[in-house]
Structure 1
Amino acid sequence: MTHPMSDPTDAFTELGRINLGEVGLDDVLQRVAELAKRVLPIPVEVSVTLARNGVGHTAAFTDELARDLDERQYAQGRGPCLDAAASGHILPVPDLHAEDRWPDWAAAGVRAGVGSSVSIGLPIQEAVVGALNVYARTPHAFDDDTVVILETFAAYAAVALANAQLYDSTATLARQMRDAMTSRAVIEQAKGIVMAERRCTPAEAFTVLARASQDSNRTVRDVAQALVDRAAEAQVRS
């Protein structure tokens, strides 16, 4: 069971302590949702929306209530979390019973026992935007001081998420570069084997590999690896 933090700055400090080398983006998103729930002195449920090209999905949530209300918005293509993500603004819904901007969604929220909500835009990167969504059981649960706390938390969270996204992208690029270098090394080895067997030029050797790739419906890298493996096995047998 989680408990509210006595000092909101504790949550900001915890965000800064996240070790991006040890946790993935999904873990950071979940941590943001959990800390946002704890940063407030009132009982709430929290979700994090990520949206690309206007299409949203809930990347983290503290309770299925929050996820379900998010998903109703995605199904309708409109709602406070999507609008906050797109605009980067704060969109409070003080009383779902009286909400007329998104009446269908508000009615569903009332049936689920939600009285008020607030969504705050999270600018993460150019292609991906997000929103921090906070749901309370009672109407008018978010006074000015509470919204200020959430706005400050969201600013810290946006930095943490942007850094996590950058780290994740950088790590992916590094893996791709390593894979590319490995593939190139294997292909060069295979070219050397073909050149030795056929006494041909490097360009001619690559043509042989490319033709074998087309004939066998495999990548050049896979053809090269198979050739290198066979050569290694032959050397062991000899």
Structure 2
Amino acid sequence: MIDQEPLDPTEAFAELGRIKLNETDLDHVLGRIAELAKRTIPGADEVSVTLIPGKGPRTAAFTGELALALDERQYEIGAGPCLEAATTTATVSIPDLTREERWPDYRSLALDSGVHSALSVGLPVDQTVTGALNIYATKPDAFDDDAALMAQTFSGYAAVALANAHLYDVTATLAQHMQAAMESRAVIEQAKGIIMGDRHCTADEAFKILSKLSQDTNRKLRDVAEALVANAARGRG
């Protein structure tokens, strides 16, 4: 179980900086950001992280089901503090939901759930992904000026950690795709060589034969090539 004792901000910032991207993944970084924020920002009862990639908003991490439910309600109606903060990368504060006139659907759910204060701070990740750190409290006026400043400072550190994790994740995925492409090319070249030897044809003719076999059998070119190479290896054995 994660220690929920309050955490000194300096320790939280240091921990964000100590995250080793080669030993974790993006989901773990997001979860750690939410956990540290809950322990660091005064007045926080629940915390979530909203991300808005190209496919629309999602809650990428949360410390409790209450935060998740409030986030998802905002996504359903297409409006709310977390969406505004994420799209504008600004800070949106709701000191007391009983006095809040914006977003009535969200307001009703929040009050019915026992939430009376909310604070969302924008998290710029990169040019294609934005997000927000969402902090919820059961008490009204839970976030004073110091708490809001702490949330903004924390979000600055979190944005750097998140941007680095996102970049690392994208780079690792690209490297995996490149490796797979290189492996595909290698096995296709092997298959072409086998066909050239059997049919006494050129490399272009061998590729056309391989492509036609792929189309006729409705299988990927790499799969056809791998099967041909495997059959040839068994034949040599």
Please list the CA deviations of residues 18-55 of structure 1 after superposition, one character each: whole Å capped at 9, or x if unmatched: 11111111111000000000112434210000113583
Residue in 1 that maps onto 2:112: 111
Residue in 2 that maps onto 1:73: 74
Tell me the SS of whatever aligns to 2:134.
strand
In structure 2, distance between residues paired with 1:104 and 1:228: 61
Residue in 2 that maps onto 1:215: 216
Mind listing any 5+ residue stretches in structure 2 that lack a counterpart?
Answer: none
Tell me the SS of whatever aligns to 2:206.
helix
Instruction: Please report how far the alpha carbon of residue 56 of structure 1 lies from its aligned counterpart in structure 2 after TM superposition.
Output: 1.3
- Deviating above 6 A after TM superposition, structure 1's stretches of 4 or more consecutive aligned residues are none
1:132 partnered with 2:133? yes
Aligned length: 235
Tell me the SS of whatever aligns to 1:21.
helix
Q: TM-score, structure 1 length as denominator?
A: 0.96
Structure 1 residues 87 and 149 mapped into 2: Cα distance closer, same or farther (>3 Å)? same
In structure 2, distance between residues paired with 1:32 and 1:162: 12
In structure 1, distance between residues paired with 2:45 and 2:129: 26
Residue in 1 that maps onto 2:102: 101
Please list the CA deviations of residues 186-229 of structure 1 after superposition, one character each: whole Å capped at 9, or x if unmatched: 01111110011111110111111011011100111111111100
1:34 partnered with 2:35? yes
Residue in 1 that maps onto 2:6: 4
Instruction: Please report how far the alpha carbon of residue 126 of structure 1 lies from its aligned counterpart in structure 2 after TM superposition.
Output: 1.4
Instruction: Please report how far the alpha carbon of residue 108 of structure 1 lies from its aligned counterpart in structure 2 after TM superposition.
Output: 1.3
Tell me the SS of whatever aligns to 1:120.
strand
Mind listing any 5+ residue stretches in structure 1 that lack a counterpart?
Answer: none
Tell me the SS of whatever aligns to 1:140.
coil
In structure 2, distance between residues paired with 1:206 and 1:72: 53
Residue in 2 that maps onto 1:18: 19
Residue in 1 that maps onto 2:171: 170
Q: TM-score, structure 2 length as denominator?
A: 0.97
1:47 partnered with 2:48? yes
Please list the CA deviations of residues 64-122 of structure 1 after superposition, one character each: whole Å capped at 9, or x if unmatched: 11111111101100000000000000000000111001122112111111110100000
On the 8 A contact 2:42/2:143 being kept in 1, the answer is: no
On the 8 A contact 1:122/1:155 being kept in 2, the answer is: yes
Residue in 1 that maps onto 2:123: 122
Residue 164 of structure 1 aligns with an amino acid whose one-letter code is A
Identical positions, percent? 57
On the 8 A contact 2:51/2:60 being kept in 1, the answer is: yes
After superposition, the CA RMSD in angstroms is 1.1
